[in-house]
Structure 1
Amino acid sequence: MVRQMTEMLKGVLEGIVLAIIAARPAYGYEITAALRERGFADIAEGTVYALLVRIEQRGYVDVEKVPSEKGPPRKVFALNASGRARLDEFWETWGFLAERLEHLREEEE
């Protein structure tokens, strides 16, 4: 089951991270902590950071460097209009898939 969960998460992790950032701007560690608080404990920090690089490159977030008390400045990610559109598309797709899967499960019972 763990392998199947990992494979499924790969397909939706971008939307999950965008949803977290939509709630409030955050830096990488905060996003990872928010994922863990929501039960996604097995997602590696490296996976989250690689995803943040991709969503920044795709123009879904605005990034601000904020001074840190410990070490270099932190990159704080804030959802922009393009990211909001992408997140809206994610939720629409998620709703479509969830509805179809629920019908399929009901047919099986």
Structure 2
Amino acid sequence: MKPKYEQQMKKGVLEMLVLQLLTEKEKYGYQLICELKEKSGGMFLLKEGTLYPILYRMEGDGLVVSRWSQPKGKEVSKKYYQLEEEGRDTLEELKELWQTFSGNVDSILGSRAGAEDGCT
């Protein structure tokens, strides 16, 4: 697949996927990057420079809140993100939109060539 097409398709679903991962429990950025990679079979291989602006934007929109962990021993402090109620509501809206969107795309992709289109 051409990288520019793949990149555009991924861009449209990243917020929804991050919100979904945060429904399970609070997570820090690198943990989200690893889970996206693992659960997508490597398709969603993000760099920090891609994920963190999404997290900052979602935090600014009130979808998530963040907190810094207290370092233990030689551990460094990590910034954890947690889903807010507004984020849960937005995720449900995004899921509904995705179902409608993907269903319509599938309908077009699965349509027979030369079939009546209903327009005259």
* TM-score, L = length of structure 1: 0.89
1:33-48 matched pairs, under 5 angstroms: 33-38=34-39, 39-48=42-51
List per-residue Cα deviations over 1:10-35 (Å, max 9, x = no partner).
11111111111112210001001111
The alpha carbon displacement at 1:41 in A equals 4.4
1:52 corresponds to: 55
List per-residue Cα deviations over 1:38-96 (Å, max 9, x = no partner).
2334321210111111111111012222123433x211111110000110011000000
Alignment: residue pair count: 108
Question: Gaps spanning 5+ residues in structure 1: where?
Answer: none
Q: Is residue 104 of structure 2 the alignment partner of residue 100 of structure 1? A: yes
Sequence identity of aligned pairs in percent?
29
2:28 corresponds to: 27
1:2 corresponds to: 3
CA RMSD of aligned residues (A): 1.5
Distance in 2, matches of 1:86 and 1:103, equals 25
The alpha carbon displacement at 1:106 in A equals 1.7
2:94 corresponds to: 90
Distance in 1, matches of 2:43 and 2:27, equals 17
Question: Gaps spanning 5+ residues in structure 2: where?
Answer: 114-120
* TM-score, L = length of structure 2: 0.82
Q: Is residue 71 of structure 2 the alignment partner of residue 70 of structure 1? A: no
